[in-house]
Structure 1
Amino acid sequence: MTGRILPPRGPARTLTGITLVHTMGQGLWMALNAVYATAVLGLSPGQFGLGAGAAAAVALALSTPTGHLADRVGPRAVQIWSFLALGPLTAALLFVDGFGAYVTVMSVQAVAYSASRSARMAMIAGLVPAAERVTLRARLRAAANVSVSVGAGIAGALLAVGTPTAYRGAVVLNALTYFGTGLLTLLLPAVPPQPARPGPALVVLRDRPYLAFVVLDGLLSMHNLLLDVVLPLWVLHHTHAPRWMIAVILLTNTVSVVLLQVRAARGTDDPAGAARASRAGSWCLGAACLVFALTEGAPALLASALLVLGALVHVLGEVRQSAGSWGISFGLAPDDAQGQYQGTYAMGADIGKMAAPALLTWLAVEHGTVGWVVMAAGFAALGSVMPAVVALARRRSKERSAPAMA
């Protein structure tokens, strides 16, 4: 399994180490964020939701500008300072007193987080040859799955202790992972900053085919919330399967991503191949939705078997669609604007995460089988148009570059 995660020595391996440290902290905090806000800070669930929503809105709004900053200043410098800033900003949660202070800290954190995310993707584009970028993203995702699980395990131990002191310890540990990630980034070679060019600064916002890809990909990425949010509610309220099947489904997904993601990235290094992979992944996602629909009212044993089958079909779609998405995002972006293009690309997933819980839960839990069928058709349709959108984007890119070459 180590061979599926660790690339050869060099910048790619250092980026993997950075990912392992960073995502361990993420896995820890994802499990404890709401608990800390409500149990230690005394916020209501509604106040916690408003704070998280404000932070998400800030990250979304600044994703493209911070990506442009990474292009102009250099992604290594932006990544170092954003991670080093996230350390004390996370530790500031130890001293928060009241809802206003919580929203302020979370919003400022979101600025640094947005910058770090755009810079990480620009670092990959700047340090790794084009033919190896998607494979590295696949390795990083496999590594992240392992590390997030470790972080979640630590969170489980702290939840078992269940004291405010234990939860504050989680804040300190999360802050230390950010410091560690920033210091590890010092081991990477610098990526030269891009000089200012005539014309608009945020050129990606005028690249309509790329923006169309971002929207389509963001909608497709809603499938990432199916197993975490929608399926647990479905199992509890619409099937006779035992509750522990929820854990089985999530474990199946985690292990399968680690085992399959790198292999699923084959053939996605160019935009055309990546678009076909995204389409194939979307069809698998649609098929998984149809399998999940069959579990309603089925006997417990049959429902359990169908849930595992659906989870396996889903993960095939997930790893293939993800690899295709990365290949398109890198392949359509100009080399001198990778930061802002990758920042804009991340906005699509952000929008998908914001829309998915309410929309997909409404379809599945409220409308049952019909809702699953609608989801299946939606995912398949979105993926089916991806090759045409990518082909248009490539034609427009060639048209724009032709005058410059003349």
Structure 2
Amino acid sequence: MLTRILPPPGPARMLIFITMVMSLGQGLWIAINAIYAVTVIRLTPGQLGVSLGITAALVLISSVPLGHLVDRAGPRTIQLWSFLSLAPLTGVLLFVQGFWSYLLVTSVQGLAYRAGNNARKAMIAARVPAGDRARIRAVIRAALNVALAVGACLAGLTLAWGERVGYQSAILLTALCFLVTGLLTLKEAPVPPVPAAAGAAFAVFRDVPFLLFTAVDGLLSTHGLLLDIVLPLWIIHHTDAPRWMSAVLLLINTAFVVAFQVRAARGTDELKSASWASLQGGGCVAAACLLFAMTGGAGLFMACVLLTVGALVHALGEIRHAAGSWTITYDLAPDHAQGQYQGAYKMGVDIGKMFAPALFAWLVIGHGATGWIVLAVSYAVLGAAVPAVVARGARSRATAKVAAGGVTSSTVRM
């Protein structure tokens, strides 16, 4: 399927291939990390939670400075060194013993990965024409899901085996994927650093319209946690559906994204169309929440049907929201600070992920269908707010360009 939608050989295809190699390692590591830490390194669940929390906080506060570094040093340079450093950082986990060494290694690992993530997005901004970014990001996301699924399957085999040598082999394969990612980056043409513009070093913190979009979109992005965390708990505690339905729903989501993400990104290459795509995404997620709410009082067969339909509607909302947010994030960011702005955008997503799991579990598991209805209303309101927020950001960008003596580009038409 991907062979039919891949762009011709060139910068975009190399970006996609590099993402697939990286995502294979990422999918494998995400699936085994927690179990490896508890069963092999012998951390307690509490120590693991503290370590993950500290790492998340460090990555959050470092996201914009790391993005600023991408702009000043050049995205290819940062991507190269971040993944070359991730390879030994992952491999050294074979020798980690105890909480403090695990915390040190995984914290540096998290910072290196965020730097590489910011760099990859800045590479897209630098190497792909503005009108084609949404399509390329869609292909990248479809390819990423394929690679993540393969990595997760390998992790499943590792976990089923359960032997120490299996975990060690998985870690070495993950390190190899990161090493290959770094080496493949050498095949990409270098992107020159962007000279710093006059004014504050971290100008994104003064860009109120972009920060407002980051907050709204970060909250809207929490819908990704519904299938990962909320629905498995809901299925167990409030429905007659079998437990394995949660895995089925994840497979449905992955297959849907791979099959339709590129199609969902069509026509989202301008801010107005992109903002309406995000609105539609929020509306679909809201409808999915209402379908999930109906499963609580249904029998086994009807619960499975409603869960499946809800997962499909949720997946449609996910891919429409993603397609819209890509164009908006790139087009509201100035060319000289793409890395910095991409880092700030990730902060909004990170903050949403920090509070959403506990809040969503409290709403849905504690209050049943009422909790789903609250979530449905929230996502509908957030989606409806995106066009107005983006219109304000577009006006701000146009004013800044005129003030700087530039000409307003077609990417800020509303």
- TM-score (normalised: structure 1): 0.98
Residue 4 of structure 1 contacts residue 258 of structure 1 at CA under 8 Å; is this kept in 2?
A: no
Cα distance in 1 between the residues matched to 2:184 and 2:369: 48
Where does residue 256 of structure 2 map in the other structure?
256
SS at match of 1:196: coil
Report the counterpart of residue 276 of structure 1 in structure 2. 276
- Answer yes or no: is the 8 Å Cα contact 1:32–1:155 preserved in 2: yes
Counterpart in 2 of 1:114? 114
Match of 2:308 in 1: 308
Q: Does the CA-based 8 Å contact 1:135-1:265 persist in structure 2?
A: yes
Match of 1:368 in 2: 368
| Structure 2: distance between partners of 1:44 and 1:204 | 39
In 2, distance between residues paired with 1:356 and 1:263? 29
For residues 387-406 of structure 1, what are the structure 2 equivalents within 5 Å? 387-405=387-405
SS of aligned partner of 1:296: helix
Give 1:166 deviation, angstroms: 1.1
SS of match in other structure, 2:24: helix
| Deviation per residue, 1:275-333 (Å, 9 max, x gap) | 11000110000000000000002111111100001001101100000111111101111
State the alpha-carbon separation in 2 of the partners of residues 377 and 32 from structure 1: 35
Separation in 1 of the partners of 2:387 and 2:323?
A: 14
Whole-angstrom CA distance in 1 between matches of 2:397 and 2:6: 34
Match of 2:193 in 1: 193
TM-score, normalised relative to structure 2:
0.96
* Superposition deviation, residue 5 in structure 1: 5.0
Q: Counterpart amino acid of 1:334?
A: P
Distance 1:79 1:95 in 2: 26
Residue type of the alignment partner of 2:395: R
Q: CA deviation at 1:356?
A: 1.9
The DSSP-based 3-state class of the residue aligned with 2:297 is coil
Deviates more, 1:240-249 or 1:16-25: 240-249
| Structure 1 Cα separation of the partners of residues 300 and 261 of structure 2 | 31
What SS does structure 1 have at the residue aligned with 2:196? Answer: coil
After the TM superposition, which residues 162-201 of structure 1 pair with which residues of structure 2 at under 5 Å, given as runs? 162-201=162-201
- Higher mean alpha-carbon deviation, 100-109 vs 286-295, is at 100-109
Contact 2:2/2:143 (8 A) holds in 1: no
For 1:360 and 1:268, the matched residues in 2 are separated by: 30
In 2: Cα distance, 1:331 partner to 1:343 partner: 15
Aligned to 1:101: 101
Deviation of 1:29 after TM superposition, in Å, equals 0.9
1:295 counterpart SS class: helix
AA in 1 matched with 2:63? S
Q: Which residue of 1 aligns with 2:210?
A: 210
Unaligned runs of at least 5 residues, structure 2? 407-414
Q: Give the aligned partner of residue 22 of structure 1.
A: 22
Rounded Cα–Cα distance in structure 2 between residues aligned with 1:380 and 1:99: 42
The separation in 2 between residues aligned to 1:320 and 1:201, in whole angstroms, is 33
| Amino acid of the structure 2 residue aligned with 1:213 | F
- Partners of 1:196 and 1:242 lie apart in 2 by 56
Q: Are 1:346 and 2:346 an aligned pair?
A: yes
The CA distance in 1 between the partners of 2:215 and 2:362, in whole Å, is 21
Q: For 2:333 and 2:252, how far apart are their aligned partners in 1?
A: 34
Aligned equivalents of 2:102 and 2:152: distance in 1?
23
Counterparts of 1:5 and 1:364 in 2: how far apart (Å)? 39
Q: Which amino acid aligns with 1:386?
A: V
Name whichever of 3-12 and 323-332 sits farther off. Answer: 3-12
Give me the whole-angstrom Cα distance separating, in 2, the residues matched to 1:185 and 1:38.
Answer: 34
Deviation string, structure 1 residues 332-364 (Cα, Å, up to 9, x no partner): 111111110111111111112222211111111
Aligned 1:12-161 pairs, distance under 5 A = 12-161=12-161
Q: Aligned partners of 1:156 and 1:401: how far apart in 2?
A: 51
- Give the conservation status (yes or no) of the 8 Å contact 1:286–1:376: yes
Say if 1:285 and 1:376, in contact at 8 Å, map to a contact too: yes
Deviation at 1:373, TM superposition (A): 0.2
SS of structure 2 residue aligned to 1:50: helix
Secondary structure of 2:225's counterpart equals: helix
Per-residue deviation, 1:4: 5.3
Q: Which sits farther off after the overlay, 152-161 or 370-379?
A: 152-161
Letter in 2 for 1:19: T
2:197 and 2:336 in contact (8 A); partners too: no
Unaligned runs of 5+ in 1: none
Q: 2:319 maps to which residue?
A: 319
Tell me which moved more, 37-46 or 101-110.
Answer: 101-110
Counterpart of 2:323, as a letter, is A
The residue that corresponds to 2:224 in the other structure is 224
**1:98-119 Cα deviation digits (max 9, x unpaired):** 1111111111112211110110
Check conservation: 1:88, 1:175, Cα contact below 8 A: yes
| SS class of match (1:385) | helix
- Give me the identity figure in percent: 56
Q: How big is the shift at 1:158? A: 1.0
Task: Specify the SS of the correspondent of 2:199.
Answer: coil
Judge conservation of contact 1:204–1:344 (CA < 8 Å) in 2.
yes
Paired with 1:53 and 1:101, the residues of 2 have a C-alpha distance of 15
State the AA in 2 paired with 1:30: I
Q: What amino acid is the match of 2:290?
A: L
**Equivalent position amino acid for 1:33 in 2:** N
Is 299-308 or 89-98 further displaced after alignment? 89-98
1:269–1:331 Cα contact (<8 Å) kept: no
- The one-letter code matched in structure 1 to 2:89 is L
Question: Residues of 1 paired with 2:51 and 2:303: CA distance?
Answer: 38
One-letter amino acid matched to 1:361: A
- 2:293 maps to 293
